[in-house]
Structures are given as structure tokens and as C-alpha cells.
Chain A
Amino acid sequence: MNKVLLLAEILTVASALIVGFHPNILYASVFLLFTFCGVAVMFLFAGADFLAGAQVIIYVGGVTILILFAIMLTQWLYKIKLADIRNKMVVPALLSAAVGVFLYRALHQMVAALPPQTPEALEKFTATPKTAAIGQALLGGYLFPFEAITILLLGAMVGAVWLARPE
């Protein structure tokens, strides 16, 4: 196994654990940033080069910053301690576990349904760039879902502007 990949996986899982269990919500969001970076490296090793770049730009540069903003501008959010909400954690934990099991089973079945691959074919697959293929798929066979998502995002943006309008 590649050591860089192993390092990225350790980084991802360790940061994810800190995100889940650190009592300070600001630290949790900082380590969320490292989780996102680790996931980007894992994308890179899976051959999804464009996704890796987009992951960092959108999740590190956008989502993490938004979360940090929300924490820093909301006083009561920063003061929440893990101990205060421990008894409220049972249902979310059960839900997350259920989602985890579902995802694992679904992915397992998907991988099992694929034809068996030789290591050489896999290596060739991970070494070919995917950017052009993604672009052609988005503006080719998947044009309708792509446009539908655009309209959804446009609606969300108009809603945000409407909510934030000066009165």
C-alpha cells in the first residue's frame, strides 16, 4: 500500500474523530478542514484529479470558511460544551450509524457488481486524467440533471438575497 495514501487516510480518520469528539466547536471545524484535505488526497489516488481540486476549493475555501464565520459570529454556538449535549447525542448517533451501514452495504454491492479488474487496468485507470471526461459528461449525457441543479442553486441564491434584504 502506498505510504502517502496511508498517511492521507490516517489524517482523514484522525481529524474526523477529533471533529466528532472535541469539546470546542471551533477546534472541531478546524480539524474538519484537515479531513477535507485528506479526502482530496484520497480522490487524487482514486484517479479523480479534478474532483480533488474542486474538493479543496469548495470545501476548504468555501464551506469551512462559512462554518468558521457562523461560529465566530454566534456567541452561544461557541459556548456550547460537549458535556451539555451528551444526553442529546443518542438519536443522532443511531442515525449516523444507520446511514454508515447503508452506505457501506450499497458501495459493497456496487463494487461486487463490477467486472473484476486487473491491478494493471486499475493503475491505468487512476493515471488517466478525468477532467475532459467530466466536462463531456456534464454537457452531454447528464445535461438535464446538471441544468436542474443549476436552477436549484439559483433558487437558493435568490432566497438568500431575499432573506438578507434590507428593510
Chain B
Amino acid sequence: MVQSAQFAHSLEGWFGFLPLWGWAAISAGLVIYMLALPFGGLATYIERKIAADMQDRIGPNRVGPIGIFQFAADAIKMLSKEDFVPKGGDRFLFNLAPLFVVVGSCTAFAVLPLSKYLIGADVNIGVIFLLAVTTLIAPGLLLGSWASENKWSLLGGLRAASQIVSYEIPVALSILPVVLISGSLQIGQIVEQQGWTVFGENPATNHFWNAFHNPFTFFSMFLLFVGGLAETNRIPFDLPEAESELVSGFNTEFSGMRFGLYALGEFCDVFVMSAMVTALYLGGWHIPFLDIEKLGFALPTGLVAFIQFHMFMIKTLLVVFVVMWLRWTLPRLRVDQLMGMCWKGLLPLAFFNVLGTALWMWVFKGQSLMQLLAGHG
């Protein structure tokens, strides 16, 4: 168990032979090139393919087999575009703003539990860390829109910031039931406790997926998902970039790779949000009803990590698919509807779920529905 303060202190001791900034640069580069960039790039391709399927079109099909290298072509196109700062805009803030978005969404990859043995830093305040770094996105959108010196942009940025700040509260409150159940903020531990096998002995702490722990957490998962949709500015909450009202919203004036950074940050944020739903409510890396580490024979750790990683990715990408599917299903909300839904709808429901979970924990002494059905725990 790595404590965050200990982790920070030990950084120097571990990696003495390069200066610290060197390691910071390398690990940031690794995160971006190994995780964020492929996912962000492929997500644009997948999104277009899914959109095409839903509209009975073919979609991108020219670059590579079934158009799979379309995102690489897009990246080259973006890199070769003119580096443009609008006249009267604020150059310093204009350059700074996309970085906030990328830093906010890419840093979150550090605590995502890709597998039991593959997690960047399993810090003891993991959930708080995830919430904290993703708040950096809101100032990025707001400052970028201001620096553009464009009224549409500013309106989009103001909408984005108010939306993210408002929906932060139901999201945090929908995470709280999980923290109540597991008694920990450490993501690795939260996922670990969601294991449940039909064969063999279950430890008393293990209680199947948190989504099925009790009826309240089941609703809480949907609240987290809806709040996450709003925080990542996805349809039906994409008012900050509503093209029929605001041209293109906060990123109207951005071109080339700066626009690319915004898009990358946004797609990474969708992935982080889906991974959060998966890790906190859908059992993370666990295969349902099966513990591959207790099969009766020992699998090599590498293979276990490999299988768990794929299980986690399957679940996360399913959630991502639902996000993309909703885009072609639901119409966009109005601004007043958006705020009304957050403060009058999601917030009371989230409070209800927290109280309900606390009540359940008190009445059934912390046992999940599964443990009650199985008659032990």
C-alpha cells in the first residue's frame, strides 16, 4: 500500500540517476503516448464509425483497412495547420488554456486501476485525487474561451465552467456510497472488495460489484454516469459547444494542434469517467463470479495482469460505447433545464442514495445483497 505522502517522499530515492524533472517528463510522455494518445485518437475513429452505423452510413473507410488510420491522418492534418492566435486575443492565456485540459485529464490516468498489478500509483486518497485533478479542466475551458476574444467562445466557456462546477457536486455525492461501503478512498482496495466467486470461499469483505451491493448504489451508479456525462460536456449536456447556438463554443477560435489538445483532453476525460464508473461500480478488473487467482492452479502474474487489464478495458469501453450511443439518441437540454436537473433532480437523489446506503449498512451490518442471498459474510 503506497501512501501518497510516502510516495512523494520516496520519488527522489528511487530514481536518483536522472534529475527529477527528467523522470517527470518521461512518465508524462509515457502516459500520453501509451494511453492518452492512442485512446484519444482511436476514440475519434470509433465515435465516427458508431455514428455512421447508427445513421446507416459507412463512415471513414479510406485510410488503412476499414479506415482505422483515419485518426493518424487527422493528427497529421492538425499538426500541419496554421498556428493561429486571434487578433486582440490574449496570447499567453490562449497557449496556456489547452494545457490545463490535457494535464487535468491525463494526470487522472495515474490512478486508474487497469489491473491489480498495473496501476500507476495506488494512492490512499485515490478517489479524491481523481476528483481533484479533473477539476483543472474547468479553468482550462474558461480561460481558453476568454483569451479567444470571441463572444461565442466566452458564452461556451462560461456555460462549461458553470456546468462542470455544478455537476461536480452530484458526482462527488454519487461516489460517497462506494466510500461508505468500502471504508477506503483507495481505488485498488475499492476494486479488490468487489470480487465474488461462486466457487470457493469468499473473504468477508468481498461483496460482488458495488452496483449490486444494494438498491441505492444501483441508482447511484446511474447518477455518477449522468453527472460524468455533464462534466465531460457530452450530449445531451454539450451546451458549451452547441454548434447551432455558439458556432463551436469555447474552442471556436482554436486551430491546429491546440484544437487537437482540446479534443484529446475531452476524449481522455470520457475514458477517465467511464473507467471511474467501471472501477467504482462495475467491479473494475474482476471477471464476474470468477476469481482467476483462485482457480486451484497458479497462473503467472503477467497473465493475470493481462486478463484483468482486458476485463477492465471491456467494461470501460462498453461504458464509452453507451456514451457515444446516447449522442445519437437524446436531444440537447436547454441551459435552465440543465441547471434545474442538477440542483433539483440529481442533487436530492444523490443525498437520498447516500442516506439509503448508510441505512442499509446499519441495518444489514454492511452485508451486500449477494452476501445476504448466499447466507454468509
Residues of chain A touching chain B, judged by Cβ–Cβ distance below 8 Å, are: 2-4, 26-27, 30, 33, 40-41, 44-47, 49-50, 52-54, 56-57, 60-62, 64-65, 68-69, 72-73, 123, 126-129, 131
Contacts and interface: CB of A to CB of B under 8 A. Distances in A.
Instruction: Tell which of A33, A50, A60 has the most Cβ of chain B within 10 Å.
Output: A60
Interface string B189-231: 0000000000000000000000000000000000000000000
Secondary structure call for the B interface:
helix
Contact of B158 (A4, A72, A127): A72
B269 interface: no
27 contacts: A2-B12, A3-B12, A4-B12, A27-B92, A30-B96, A45-B8, A46-B5, A47-B5, A52-B125, A53-B125, A53-B129, A53-B132, A56-B136, A57-B168, A60-B136, A61-B135, A61-B165, A61-B168, A65-B165, A68-B143, A126-B9, A127-B3, A127-B6, A129-B3, A129-B124, A129-B125, A131-B185
B63 interface: no
Given A56-B133, A57-B135, A68-B139, A49 B125 contact: yes
A57 B185 contact: no
Contacts of A30: 93, 96, 139, 143
Contacts of A127: 3, 5-6, 9
Instruction: Tell which of A26, A50, A72 has the most Cβ of chain B within 10 Å.
Output: A72
B132 A57 contact: yes
Given A45-B5, A131-B185, A4 B128 contact: no
Contacts of A27: 92-93
A65 B5 contact: no
Nearest to B90: A26
Nearest to A55: B132
A53 B128 CA distance: 6
8 tightest A-B contacts by CB? A61-B135, A53-B128, A56-B132, A127-B6, A129-B124, A49-B4, A53-B132, A49-B125
B5 A57 contact: no
A2 B158 contact: no
A65 B142 contact: yes
B11 interface: yes
B135 A60 contact: yes
A5 B158 CA distance: 34
A72 B128 contact: no
Interface in B1-49: 3-6, 8-9, 11-12, 20
Contact of A126 (B5, B92, B162): B5
A40 B162 CA distance: 23
A26 B165 contact: no
A85 B293 CA distance: 68
A4 B4 contact: no
Given A2-B9, A45-B9, A127-B5, A60 B20 contact: no
A69 B161 contact: yes
B12 A57 contact: no
A44 B135 contact: no
Contacts of B360: none
Given A4-B20, A131-B185, A50 B142 contact: no
Contacts of A72: 142, 146, 154, 158
A33 B139 contact: yes
B131 interface: yes
Interface in B64-113: 90, 92-93, 96
B166 to A, nearest CB: 11
Contacts of A65: 138-139, 142, 161, 165
Contacts of A50: 125, 128
A155 to B, nearest CB: 18
